Amino acid sequence: MDIKMRSDCPISCSLDIWGDKWSLLIVRDLMFSKQCTYGDFLKSDEKIATNILASRLQMLEMNGLITKQDHPESKAKVLYKLTQKGIDLLPIMIEINLWADKYFTLPAERKEILAEVKKDKEAFIKEKTIELQRHTN
C-alpha cells in the first residue's frame, strides 16, 4: 500500500489520503473520544468491516494522521490517537457538519454541538484543538 498522487492539486492530494467513505469516520471517532481502541471503531454506527478498518488505520498512520500507542492498562489493547496533522482536520470536519446541517436532518445531540460552533467558530476550533492536543503524547 503506497501513496500514488494523481496530481499536485491540494484537493486531489488530500483525497488521495482520506478521500473514501471510511477514513473521516475514524477521524470523527477520534475527535469525539480523543482515543479509541480497535474495538471502539468497530462499535460505531456505520459498522465498518474489520479488514477495511485495519487497512484504513494503516493508511492513516502511514500518512501521519494518527498514531498507535500501548494501552496503559493492558498489553492486549492498542490506543489510537490523532496527531497534530490529524487534529488539523478539525476545521474541515466542522465545515462538513455545517454543510450537512443545512441539507440534512441531524440528530439532536449534534445540533447542540453545532449551535456552540455557530456562536463562535474560531473559539470552538481553538478550544477543541487544545483539548485534543492535551491527549497527544
Partner DNA sequence: TATTTGCACTTGCAAAACGCAAGCAAATTT
Partner DNA sequence: AAATTTGCTTGCGTTTTGCAAGTGCAAATA
Report the interface residues with a second copy, using CB under 8 A.
6-16, 19-21, 24-25, 28, 44-47, 85, 88-89, 91-107, 110
- The minimum distance between CB 104 and a second copy, in angstroms, equals 5
Residue closer to DNA by CB (options 38, 124) is 38
Nearest to 24 by CA among 122, 79, 121, 91: 91
Axis crossing angle, helix 23-33 with helix 10-18, rounded to the nearest 10:
80
Q: Is 68 in the site for DNA (CB under 7 A)?
A: yes
Geometric angle at alpha carbon 89, from 83 and 95, rounded to 5°: 160
Q: How many CB atoms are closer than 10 A to CB 59?
A: 19
Q: Which residue among 51, 107, 109, 134 contacts DNA (CB under 7 A)? A: 51
54: partner contacted, choices DNA, a second copy, none (Cβ within 5-8 A by kind): DNA
